[in-house]
Chain A
Amino acid sequence: MRLRDCGDARALLPEEEILTDPYQLLGVEKTASLDDIRKSYRKLAKKLHPDLNPGNKQAEEEFKQVSTAYDLLSDPDKRAKFDRGEIDATGAERPQQRFYRDFASASDHAYADASGFEDFAAGDDLFAEILRRQAQARANAPGADMHFRLAVDFLDAVNGGTMRLGVPDGGTLEVKIPAGIADAQVLRLRGKGAPGRGTGKPGDALVEVTVRPHRFFTREGDDIHVELPVTLTEAVLGGEVPVPTPTGPVMMRVPKHSNTGAVLRLKGKGVHRQGGGHGDELVRLKVMLPPAPDPELESFLAGWLAGKSYDPRRDMQP
């Protein structure tokens, strides 16, 4: 590569002749002191910083090269390694930086300032109209959405209710829980987020709901599942038993000879459906013996021949 003076001629270099020697990039001698290097870099950076040259693609490229060179030469350790030929000129590449100018041209940009044209606008309708539209776009910039999490009891999720949520600015937010809300569902509270700029609308509060598990109810879709213990007597002879449901206990008829595992359906006692109606509650029976041994039961069973001929494990033969 041809050597060149790296002073003001740098910006005119054609692309194929991009310099890679950090000393040449910064326009300093190999023997330059750290102070000289810093001075030279500052001089170039003031000229080339992309945010001071919006719209100039070449300035960005050159700034990156100069920065890389400065990173290398301003670190005595890396500089020594480079001088000994142990690392190449890209050995100290900066992390990718997104420059401010990439954002500053967006229409709802928060820092935008078009006041520099106001005197033009006074005498020109077209300018006035353009500035008015810009100001409107900024003024209408909505506030940010805010995210919250809310743990809801199982029954509140099924039946619905109102809960209060503490928000960071010290206030509280009233959250209406619609009946039948599911775990991980997100409620959008319009206008309860961060305030907008100027006359802009406030953002929304997005509340992610976590449903706490229940002691004995579980939920599958719109149906509620519950395991209901019944006595041996109730199972064999049948009868009316109270069953808990999310809206309170109801009486359910257990048919005669109901076994463990039998599932009885309580229509409409499940979760509120979004389109209207309710799911069902599915009650799974579980026959429970009394906690203490019972001599009467034992003597009956000892003489109960039919019971002995039944093999509940016959399907489990290998």
Chain B
Amino acid sequence: MTISRREFLLRARLDDGTLEAWITEEWLIPGGTRTEPAFTDADIARAALIRDLRHDLAVNDAGIGVILSLVDQMHGLRRTLADLMREMREREGERGG
């Protein structure tokens, strides 16, 4: 289910200029085309994270890029770890049966 730019701005409580800046910074990478981007619920949640970082945690713009990159890497690692554990369980199961 994709979300239009208009709906995204409303739901993420962003103005047009801010969204443009965030996309330019690659903090947000929507699908679709440049003129007709298609957002997802994950983009809305990511925008909420960026907002929290800027306003609630007073992280400056340079810091946000670093944090997002680390958060993405952390999720990548968590996922890889989960895949690895599943793979190991399966192999153990094969050996057992």
Chain A interfacial positions (CB closer than 8 Å to B) = 41-42, 45-46, 49, 51-52, 54-55, 67, 70, 97-107, 109-117, 126-127, 130-131, 133-134, 143-146, 168-170, 194-195, 197
Count of chain B residues near A, Cβ 8 A: 38
Which residue from B44, B68, B77, B84 sits with its C-beta under 8 Å from A98?
B44
B94: Cβ under 8 A from any A Cβ? no
* Complex Cα gap A194–B35 (Å): 11
Cβ–Cβ contact B77 & A116, under 8 A: yes
What's the dominant secondary structure at chain B's contact region?
A: helix
Max chain A CB contacts within 10 Å: which of B32, B44, B73?
B32
* Complex Cα gap A45–B83 (Å): 30
Cβ–Cβ contact A45 & B56, under 8 A: yes
* Complex Cα gap A111–B26 (Å): 10
A152–chain B nearest beta-carbon distance, Å: 23
A51, closest chain B residue (CB): B49
Chain B residues near A197 (CB-CB < 8 A)? 31
Chain B interfacial positions (CB closer than 8 Å to A) = 2, 29, 31-36, 38, 40-42, 44-46, 48-49, 52, 56-58, 67-69, 71-80, 82-84, 87
A167–chain B nearest beta-carbon distance, Å: 8
A107, closest chain B residue (CB): B79
Could you list some 20 contacts between A and B, CB below 8 A? A42-B58, A51-B49, A54-B74, A54-B75, A67-B56, A97-B45, A100-B46, A104-B72, A105-B79, A110-B40, A111-B46, A112-B75, A112-B76, A114-B73, A114-B80, A115-B73, A127-B84, A144-B31, A169-B33, A194-B33
B47, closest chain A residue (CB): A100
* Complex Cα gap A46–B53 (Å): 9
B38, closest chain A residue (CB): A144
* Complex Cα gap A41–B55 (Å): 11
Cβ–Cβ contact B76 & A114, under 8 A: yes
Q: Given A103-B41, A117-B80, A146-B36, A111–B31 Cβ distance below 8 Å?
A: no
* Complex Cα gap A41–B58 (Å): 11
A165–chain B nearest beta-carbon distance, Å: 14
A118–chain B nearest beta-carbon distance, Å: 10
Instruction: List 10 additional contacts besides A113-B69, A146-B36, A168-B36; criterion CB under 8 Å.
Output: A45-B57, A98-B45, A100-B49, A112-B76, A114-B77, A116-B73, A126-B87, A130-B80, A194-B31, A197-B31
Chain B residues near A100 (CB-CB < 8 A)? 42, 45-46, 48-49, 71
* Complex Cα gap A144–B37 (Å): 10
* Complex Cα gap A144–B77 (Å): 27
A282–chain B nearest beta-carbon distance, Å: 43
B75, closest chain A residue (CB): A104
A193–chain B nearest beta-carbon distance, Å: 9
Chain B residues near A49 (CB-CB < 8 A)? 49, 52, 56-57
Chain A residues near B38 (CB-CB < 8 A)? 144, 146, 194
Cβ–Cβ contact B48 & A97, under 8 A: yes
Which residue from B34, B49, B52, B84 sits with its C-beta under 8 Å from A130?
B84
Chain A residues near B72 (CB-CB < 8 A)? 104, 111-113
Max chain B CB contacts within 10 Å: which of A41, A46, A70?
A46
Max chain A CB contacts within 10 Å: which of B34, B41, B56?
B56
* Complex Cα gap A162–B9 (Å): 36
Cβ–Cβ contact A101 & B48, under 8 A: no
